[in-house]
Amino acid sequence: MKNLYFVITLSAFTALCVFGGVAWLIAENQIKQAKEATSQAAVVAGKKETDATVADMERRLKRDLAEAGQRLAITRTLGVTQQIIRAITVYTLDNDTLPAVDGWHQAVRDHEKHVRKLIRESTYYTDAEKKRSLADPPISFTDAWGNPYRMIHRKSPGSIDYDIVSNGPDGEEDTTDDIFSRGNFTPDD
């Protein structure tokens, strides 16, 4: 059952990435349509657009598209941090321990390979389910800006809270644009 949860979360992340890509295409299409509608409205109104007006409109459209791209990068990064939290949750369920801060990338990567092997060898899943689950991309350990994710542990009585953190668009640690997801591990006594 633990492995089924991992398969479902991998598929959910793939859906998030596809949705993000579709959102990007929709945004580009809406900008293109707005530009065409503005040009048509100007002709209908009998106004002749000047080069300066067109250039200003193009600058605004490019700015809007860049902002949409930044929002998409943030959304994808948040999705990956949540995917990593889910993978660590499955890891802790199977190993009853939290990966070390220094070696968590490799621990999660190794465990993901192990789960994929279990899926391939399983008689529980149909061939279509196996194919869909194994087609999901492996977990990325770098954010949308090419920086590695960090893991931070905070111990509290009886449990450990941990964050998977992206430094965000500015690439600097501990700034207001950092993106993170939080998990919790409570060891069995």
pLDDT tens digits along 118-146: 887 888 878 888 787 777 777 888 999 99
Q: What angle do CA 79, 180, 102 make, to 5 degrees?
A: 105
Q: How far is CA 79 from CA 59, 73, 125, 144, in A?
A: 30, 10, 26, 11
Counting residues of the chain whose pLDDT is more than 90, the rounded percentage is 21
Supply the pLDDT for residue 15. Answer: 46
The SS3 call for residue 109 is helix
98: DSSP letter: P
Q: Are 9 and 132 in contact (CB under 8 A)?
A: no
pLDDT at 43 exceeding the cut of 70: no
Please compute Rg for the chain using Cα positions.
22
Q: Is the pTM of this model over 0.85?
A: no
